[in-house]
């Protein structure tokens, strides 16, 4: 729609799927399609986590992109967080002087889940999607970021 800028769609804690919506109009009518991170999606293929629905209402074309397995994306981001936590710990230990005696079987510091909430807010993007509207006269794009809401749960 006219004036619609970049947007963020937040996925609630515990949600398994999310929907991105797009609407455009043009003369002649427009065809809508979706891209993720600059690549065209191929929804509807067996095993695809994307499903598209399209319809027309007068001069408007509308589309909904359903994204499934958001839980998998949350798990992937948690693994990245834990990896970043572990690498920051190892870099801190390499910067401090070596102790004269080393204690064995000392458990590593647990991750700070408050940090997870801040980290997830910065890094919790499942993907950047673009709704592309095309007709004979050209094309227009609307960028949407699918983001995870919620904490470590």
Q: Which pLDDT tens digit goes with each residue over 37-84?
A: 788 887 667 677 889 999 999 889 999 999 887 777 777 777 776 777
pLDDT at 38: 81
Count of alpha carbons within 13 angstroms of residue 61, beta-carbon side: 19
**pLDDT (tens digit per residue) in 42-53:** 766 767 788 999
pLDDT at 153: 41
Give residues with Cβ within 8 angstroms of 148, minimum separation 6.
10, 11, 70, 73, 74, 77, 120, 124, 125, 126
Rounded CA-CA distance 69/148 in Å is: 12
Give residues with Cβ within 8 angstroms of 29, minimum separation 6.
56, 59, 61, 135
Would you say residue 98 lies in a domain? no
For residue 76, the enclosing domain spans 7-87+113-148
Would you say residue 92 lies in a domain? no
Which DSSP helix (H) or strand (E) runs through 18? Answer: strand 17-25
Would you say residue 107 lies in a domain? no
Would you say residue 62 lies in a domain? yes
Rounded CA-CA distance 126/146 in Å is: 5
The structural domain count of the chain equals 1
Rounded CA-CA distance 117/140 in Å is: 35
Pairing state between β 125-135 and 50-57: unpaired
8 Å CB contact between 50 and 41: yes
Would you say residue 47 lies in a domain? yes
Would you say residue 103 lies in a domain? no
CATH of the domain at 39: 2.60.40.10
Would you say residue 137 lies in a domain? yes
């Amino acid at each position: 729609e006219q004036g619609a800028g970049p947007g963020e769609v937040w996925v609630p804690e515990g949600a398994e799927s999310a929907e991105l919506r797009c609407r455009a109009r043009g003369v002649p009518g427009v065809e809508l399609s979706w891209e993720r991170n600059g690549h065209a999606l191929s929804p509807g293929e067996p095993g695809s986590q994307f499903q598209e629905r399209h319809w027309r209402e007068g001069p408007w074309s509308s589309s909904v992109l359903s994204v499934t397995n958001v839980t998998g994306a949350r798990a992937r981001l948690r693994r990245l967080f834990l990896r970043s936590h572990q690498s920051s710990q190892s870099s801190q230990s390499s910067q401090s002087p070596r102790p004269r005696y080393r204690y064995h079987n000392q458990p590593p510091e647990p991750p700070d889940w408050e940090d997870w909430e801040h980290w997830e807010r910065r890094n919790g993007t499942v993907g950047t999607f673009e709704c592309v509207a095309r007709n004979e006269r050209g094309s227009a794009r609307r960028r949407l970021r699918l983001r995870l809401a919620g904490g470590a749960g």
